[in-house]
A = this chain, B = another copy of it.
Amino acid sequence: MTDTGSRLPAAVEQLWGLREPTRRGGPKPALSLDRIVAAAVGLADEGGLAALSMSRLAEKLGFTTMSVYRYVASKDDLLVLALDAAIGEPAEVDPAAAWRDQLVAWAQQLQVRYRAHPWMTDVPISGLPAGPNQMLWFEYGLRALADTTLQPGERASTVLLLATFVRAQTQLVQDLTRAGRGAGGEPPVDWPEVVRQVADPARFPAVAATVAAGIFDDDPDEFPDDEFGFGLQRILDGVEALHRSRVSA
């Protein structure tokens, strides 16, 4: 037997649990990768990504900082593991439902996960979905499109587009509400007020008109929520147009 995936990145192998057969001596590990990842997720959940440092993580586990490095090659690797753990397995969607309903449920559920772990959007993307959970999300997204007329490449692009959209939109909403209620620091930023004070209506007529229409004056908890639904429906309308163009042809 070859050692299967010697060419795979270490983090990917750990993600899929392909690291067992290498114990040729030494004390029994007192820590485990699962415990470390779980503690990392907990730390980030409580205090944001900034609160997740290797020293704080080790302290929470009751070990020294460097001991963590016996299980994880770097903090970047740890983040990859924590991300896959935090996003979790997607719930299965009814395959009998219409593809569009399936994708709406998929996207909404994904958004729920992002909201449960707001720090996830702060973790830099490291590549295509390589962990088991991320790949399962990808899988379910593709399955939802199975009965459409889209070609394989288009299906992959669509799911990637939706995943990107959910991530980015969630991040935007989080950042806006964070700024809107003044996280940590003092003054909640009142964007319409900023525009009124600073943007010359002669130079920014469309922006001024939008602000004057009171679009952004709603309570900041409501406005961005509709934002998600609006974008999702637009994207799905676009996908549906592509689907229908093939049907009628």
Point out residues on A near B: beta carbons under 8 Å.
4-5, 7-9, 12, 16, 18, 122, 124-128, 130, 135-136, 138-139, 142-143, 146, 152-158, 160-161, 164-165, 167-169, 171-172, 175-176, 179, 187, 189-191, 193-195, 197-199, 203-207, 209-210, 213, 215-216, 226-227, 230-231, 233-239, 241-242
Indicate how many identical chains form the complex: 2
Which residues of chain B have C-beta atoms less than 8 A from A194's C-beta?
Answer: 8, 12, 130
Question: Could you tell me the distance between the alpha carbons of A199 and B132 in the complex, rounded to whole angstroms?
Answer: 8
Note all chain B residues with C-beta closer than 8 A to A235.
234-235, 238
**Chain B residue with Cβ nearest A16:** B198
User: Please, which residue of chain B has its CB at the minimum distance from the CB of A245?
Assistant: B237
Instruction: List B contacts of A122 (CB < 8 A).
Output: 124
When the two chains form their complex, are residues A152 and B210 in contact, meaning their CB atoms are under 8 A apart? yes
Q: Closest residue to A213 on the B side, CB-wise? A: B152
A207→B142 contact, CB < 8 A? yes
Contact B206 A139 (CB under 8 A): yes
Q: Are B124 and A157 in contact (CB under 8 A)?
A: no
Q: A65 CA to B216 CA in the complex, in Å? A: 39
Decide: A157 near B227, CB < 8 A? Known: A125-B175, A142-B207.
yes
Instruction: Say which residue of B189, B215, B238 sits within 8 Å of A153 (CB atoms).
Output: B215
In the assembled complex, the Cα of A136 lies from the Cα of B206 at a distance in Å of 10
CB pair A187 B9 closer than 8 Å? yes
Residues of chain B contacted by A210 (CB below 8 angstroms): 142, 152, 155-156
Give the complex CA separation of A16 and B160 in angstroms. 37
When the two chains form their complex, are residues A142 and B206 in contact, meaning their CB atoms are under 8 A apart? yes
For this complex, 30 residue pairs linking A to B, each with C-beta atoms less than 8 Å apart, are A4-B197, A5-B197, A8-B198, A9-B189, A16-B198, A18-B198, A128-B176, A135-B195, A138-B207, A139-B205, A142-B210, A152-B210, A156-B215, A156-B216, A157-B226, A157-B227, A157-B231, A160-B172, A161-B230, A164-B165, A164-B169, A164-B231, A233-B238, A234-B239, A234-B241, A237-B237, A237-B238, A237-B242, A238-B241, A241-B241
